Amino acid sequence: MIYYLIGTIVIIVLLIGWVISTYNNLIRARELVRNAMGQISTQVESRWDALKNMIEGTKQYAEYEAKTLADITEQRSTLGQGAAVSDVNEDDRLFNQAMGKLFAVAESYPELKASQVYQDTLKNVDKYEQQVRQSRMIFNDTVTKYNRIIQTVPSNIIANLFHFTTETYFENSSNKTDMPSWS
């Protein structure tokens, strides 16, 4: 009888240990996803900062166009670790809208397009765009690992018990399949 009691206690302790270990693995995986989104947010913020520098340079050539561009930058919301993929996609849409307007201004003002500030800023924007793209790939890899943990047996039992849900991936849209051309 004592062996059954000891056996039962050992099984219960092992089961509790497994639940705790699985829960902690889920937390770690979810935090890696949040960290990956934080990295994207940081790169996106740097990209906007470079664009704002370009807008400042535009003011000396065309005040009205610079105001329009500044209005677009004010429409965006700051992204953070808790941002959703849709938030980043909306931010991209606003960024591309601002870049399109900026390119139109540069076409109207050749001296702006030829300026060193404009050229340097384009290089910085391109650098940050590359970093955003790289951060998205890391995010998707991290989401794959996280989603795999919460969907496979037996960890899916703990995931369902504690309401862990799958994360959304970044997907290529039709306008994101090619590298942007900043020149």
Quickly state the pLDDT bin for 143 (edges 50, 70, 90): very high
| pTM, entire model | 0.78
Q: Please, what is the Cα angle at 14 between 8 and 15, to 5 degrees?
A: 90
- What is the DSSP annotation of 56-80? HHHHTT-HHHHHHHHHHHHH-----
Whole-angstrom Cα distance, residue 109 to residue 85? 36
Domain ranges of the chain: 2-168
CB proximity list for 49: less than 8 A, separation 6 or greater: none
**How many CA atoms lie less than 13 Å away from 169 in the CB half-sphere?**
14
Q: For the segment 11-52, what is each residue's pLDDT rounded down to a tens digit?
A: 999 999 999 999 999 999 999 999 999 999 999 988 888 888
Q: Which residue has the higher pLDDT, 62 or 119?
A: 119
Neighbours of 155 (CB within 10 A): 20
Which CATH architecture best describes the domain 2-168?
Answer: Up-down Bundle (1.20)
Neighbours of 22 (CB within 10 A): 19
Question: If we measure between CA atoms, which residue out of 95, 110, 116 comes closest to residue 43?
Answer: 95
**Does the pLDDT at position 171 exceed 70?**
yes
